[in-house]
Structure 1
Amino acid sequence: MTAIGISGNILVLFFFHISIEDHKIRPTEKIISNLAVANLVWILTLGVPHSCFVFGLQYLYSDVSCKINTYVAKVSRAMAIDLTCFLSCLQYTTIMSSTPKWDKVKKKLQAYLIFIIPVLLLSNMTCCVALVLFTFSAANVTNMDYTFNLGYCLVIFPDKTSFLAHCLFLFSEDLTFVVLMILSSICILLILYKHNKRVKRVRNTDQNQEKTAERQAAKMVVTLVSLYVFFFGIENTIFLYQVTSSVKVHSTVSDIRYFFSTCFTSIFPIVIIVLNSKIKSRLRYFVCEKPTSLQEIFQARPSLTR
């Protein structure tokens, strides 16, 4: 799963980079490209160390490297959930009926996109700073009470109060964003259902083609949210059970939890490649036409496959 996640997210970033060069990238695709970066960092700082640990490579990190690795992993995880939530909310405003109110909201979200993502990053970096204080190398610790045991690193809290407070904060944060994702996705599905029921296909106009692209993007967003809720629902259920039943978060339970986290980062690029028409067109051109240089790939147009 780690290998699939790394290669898949790099592939998504590569093809979105081509779209950026062509100045043909939508706001939702900008968020998806940032989400691919967050997933890639996440799987490099979480999936790779866990894979090494499971295969017997222990004590790879010192205290300092453990702090850095765990901090970066936590920030990237927080960015993944924030961006997925923001993506679903933005897509909801995009497919809403054109009214002056919603047009204004949509334009503001799209215009301030370049500022919203850095703000989310800074806020997550600030919230995760406290985690650095409690992270140590597994080789240097004997006390395992109130501990997240990652195998290669340990996150040890000084007492039960701080341990439960941290766990409650993580769970409430995830729950808040998941609820927002679910609500926006339900609204998207209702809009798509009403539109399909009301409109009897009038095609071959630019407006209808744009609406079709928006609906396809909406389906992609709903699929991503569904996968996120499924995998992280399982992960958080295991997390909540472990926290409420023991003062130690054992490495075996962490392996199971983070496996489901890795599942989302690995399946995410597959969903994007399958449902994004730009990536599908360029990938089909790359496979079928076999371009001889990167320049030919960058110059490929979706029209070549029609």
Structure 2
Amino acid sequence: MGPQDILKGTIFSATTIIGLCGNTVALIFLLQVAHNEKKMMTNEVILCSLAVSNLTLLFTLGLPHSLFVFTVKYFHTDLDCQVDLYLLRVSRVMAIGLTCLLSCFQCTVLASSSHSCWTALKAWIQRYLGWIIIFLVLTSMASSINSALFPVISTNLTNLPYTFNLGYCFVIYPDKLSFELIGFVAFARDAVLVILMALASSYILFILFRHEKQMKGKRSSDRNQDKSAERQAAKTLVTLVVLYVFFFGIDNVVWFYQISKSNEINHFVTNLRLFVTFCFPSLFPFIIIFFNQKLRDKMTCSGNK
């Protein structure tokens, strides 16, 4: 094993371990808060679901990739690869869908004071949240079924241009048409969710900005309190969306280039895409913990015991 492999393995392993620990801690404390309050708010249900999706993605992508770099054999049959990559794609789509749902719900919460239709939409999301999440799960499973069709544990890469070499698994597309079609459909699906997420987040920022202008006539103490809450919400929103769009952009620009311009898939570029894919799940819990007052208070109380 060369120095480059050791460095890559260390980076992948550290990112994976940090993400697994962070999402586990965030999930545990979210559940503890819900247990203490005898209820779970809508955004907390979405955050818990998102933490589970992140954990699944890290277990199916970050962990096997990190172990492979250190020559640990993680899979033994084609079925192992197929199940792993299928769960990987499902969890990734779920993460995007749940983040989009969170942005849309927060948008309805802030906008509900300005129009009755937003209030009705907020109530509808709260009432049917479980069914919405189930719909996202089923949609993610159905749209990711192609991920279970082509992975194998080992292969002869000679004259197989449309092949992703993950090291521990190979994804072999039979021809250029299937390679490009599956790639473009996945790109379009993810792009729609990210655009919707960005639009909802932009509207939230607009509402916060408009509300801040309206608060200028209030007393100084009230205005400062409101401004503090608005800044807190805006920071959480902007941080999550900017990070997601940033990582999504890198991931899909590289992916788009691979499916449209290149017949031979570069192993380094594939590694870059894989690393970027689980950067956001690794950072997500720390953003949530940093901006969520209830989680910080719960963690502080647990630390003082």
The answer on 1:44 being equivalent to 2:59 is yes
Alignment counterpart, residue 244 of structure 2, candidates 222, 228, 233: 228
Question: CA separation of 1:202/1:174 partners in 2, compared to 1, >3 Å: closer, same or farther?
Answer: farther
* Partner deviation per Cα, 1:46-95 (whole Å, 9 max, x = no partner): 00111112223357331010000000001000000011111111111110
SS of residue in 2 equivalent to 1:227: helix
| Residue in 1 that maps onto 2:24 | 10
Contact residue 50 and residue 94 of structure 2 kept, 8 A: yes
Gaps of 5+ in 1: 292-306
Write the distance in 2 (CA, Å) between the matches of 1:43 and 1:158.
28
Task: Give the counterpart letter for 2:168 in structure 1.
Answer: Y
Per the TM alignment, residue 123 of structure 1 is displaced from its structure 2 partner at its CA by: 1.2
Retained in 2: the 8 A contact 1:91–1:218? no
Partner amino acid for 1:127? S
CA–CA distance in 2 between the matches of 1:30 and 1:218?
21
Q: Distance in 2 between matches of 1:17 and 1:158?
A: 45
TM-score (norm 1): 0.87
**Aligned with residue 53 of structure 1, among 54, 62, 68:** 68
**Partner amino acid, structure 2, of 1:245:** K
SS of corresponding position for 1:25 = coil
Paired AA for residue 273 in structure 1: I
Q: Does 1:237 align with 2:237?
A: no
Contact conserved, 1:171 with 1:236, CA < 8 A, in 2?
yes
* 2:104 paired with 1:120: no
Q: Please give the secondary structure, in 2, of the residue aligned with 1:248.
A: coil
Counterpart residue type for residue 106 of structure 2: Q
C-alpha distance in structure 1 between counterparts of 2:140 and 2:279, whole Å: 22
CA drift at 1:127: 1.5
Residues 129-168 of structure 1: pairs in structure 2 closer than 5 A: 129-137=145-153, 139-143=154-158, 144-168=160-184
Count of matched residue pairs = 286
Structure 1 residue 120 displacement after superposition: 0.6
CA displacement 1:234-290 (0-9 Å, x = unmatched): 111111122223223333212111111121011101101100011110111222x2x
Give the Cα–Cα distance (whole angstroms) in 2 for the partners of residues 114 and 281 of structure 1. Answer: 28
Distance in 2 (alpha carbons) for counterparts of 1:269 and 1:122: 25
The answer as to whether partners of 2:96 and 2:190 remain within 8 angstroms in 1 is yes
Name the CA shift for 1:242/1:103 in 2 (closer, same or farther; >3 Å). same
> Residues 20, 119 of structure 1: CA spacing in aligned structure 2 closer, same or farther, 3 A cutoff?
same
Return 5+ residue gaps in structure 2 as ranges: 1-14
What is the identity, as a one-letter code, of the residue corresponding to 2:194? Answer: V
Identity %: 43
Per-residue deviation, 1:229: 0.3
Tell me by how many angstroms 1:211 deviates.
Answer: 10
Q: 1:79 to 1:192 in 2, by over 3 A?
A: same
Contact preservation (8 Å) 1:181, 1:225: yes
With the length of structure 2 as denominator, give the TM-score of the two structures.
Answer: 0.87
CA distance in 2, matches of 1:166, 1:192: 39
SS at match of 2:71: coil
CA contact (8 A) 2:112 2:122 kept: no
Q: Is the 8 A contact 1:35 1:79 kept in 2?
A: yes
Residue of structure 1 equivalent to 2:199: 183
How much does 1:102 deviate?
1.3
Which residue identity does 1:34 align to in structure 2?
S
Greater CA drift, 208-217 or 24-33:
208-217
Alignment of 1:79-98 (within 5 A): 79-98=94-113
CA distance in 2, matches of 1:188, 1:283: 29
Mapped partners of 1:113, 1:35: distance in 2:
14
Residues 37, 140 of structure 1: alpha-carbon distance in 2 compared, 3 angstrom cutoff = same
1:268–1:186 Cα change, 3 Å: same
Q: Aligned partners of 1:103, 1:17: CA distance in 2, in Å?
A: 27
Structure 1 residue 214 displacement after superposition: 7.9
